[in-house]
Structure 1
């Protein structure tokens, strides 16, 4: 008999909801699976996520930017982030707000990202 991943996921969602801290860690883990098309670094460590807010209802609000307003994925990237975060158990809705102020700079990057890009 094969393992039923859908049933497992459904059971996980029906179990006790994660604490706010657990949920935030899971969200960050998922954000780290999304890579910027211009840099070989995930969007969280690249510093593109300015704010990550969780509500008790399971609603998530993300305020983020892109490396440049002329980014070729500017139209589709917020939807990619939304769909990815909706996969996290306990998340019922995701709103992604794309902002350009303050503009992204390399100073936003984590040390891990700078190390990965050979900047340290």
Structure 2
């Protein structure tokens, strides 16, 4: 049970870090954009992040996942981080938070 609580707290801290990373083409962070599909925390505090990009040929397809990995790895509690990119399901505007839609004038 203790691990579950610690994982949840660490997961929330990771989300806070993810909210500091922006898609360079859109003035909204990657979390609010809906690019993060899952954050998994192992018992050893190894992190696996499943994320997508707005398009497969996104100009930051190389650098954005690396930025995510480096920022999460730099957290004291994290022992390792792996970022996996998926296009299943493909990203769509429905995945954006209300906050992101408001920011982009879509509401």
Same fold (TM over 0.5): yes
CA RMSD, Structure 1 to Structure 2 (Å): 1.1
1:37 positional shift = 1.3
- Choose which of 16, 32, 40 in structure 1 pairs with 2:27: 40
Shift of 1:89: 2.3
State the aligned residue count.
Answer: 103
Output aligned runs, 1:22-61, within 5 Å: 22-61=9-48
Q: Which residue of 2 aligns with 1:8?
A: none
Match of 1:107 among 69, 83, 94: 94
Partners of 1:53 and 1:22 in 2: how far apart? 12
Q: CA deviation at 1:76?
A: 1.8
Q: Give the TM-score normalised by the residue count of structure 2.
A: 0.91
Answer yes or no: is 1:116 the counterpart of 2:103.
Answer: yes
CA distance in 2, matches of 1:63, 1:89: 21
Once the two structures are superposed, what CA deviation does each residue of 1:53-108 show, in whole Å capped at 9, x if it has no partner?
A: 01120100001000011111111211110001112221010000011111100000
> Larger Cα Rg: Structure 1 or Structure 2?
1
| Unpaired segments ≥5 residues, structure 2 | none
Distance 2:57 2:86 in 1: 13
Q: What is the rounded CA distance, in whole Å, between the counterparts of 2:26 and 2:55 in structure 1?
A: 12
Task: Give the TM-score of the pair, scaled to structure 1.
Answer: 0.82
**Aligned equivalents of 1:103, 1:20: Cα separation in 2:** 27
Question: Aligned with 2:99: secondary structure?
Answer: helix
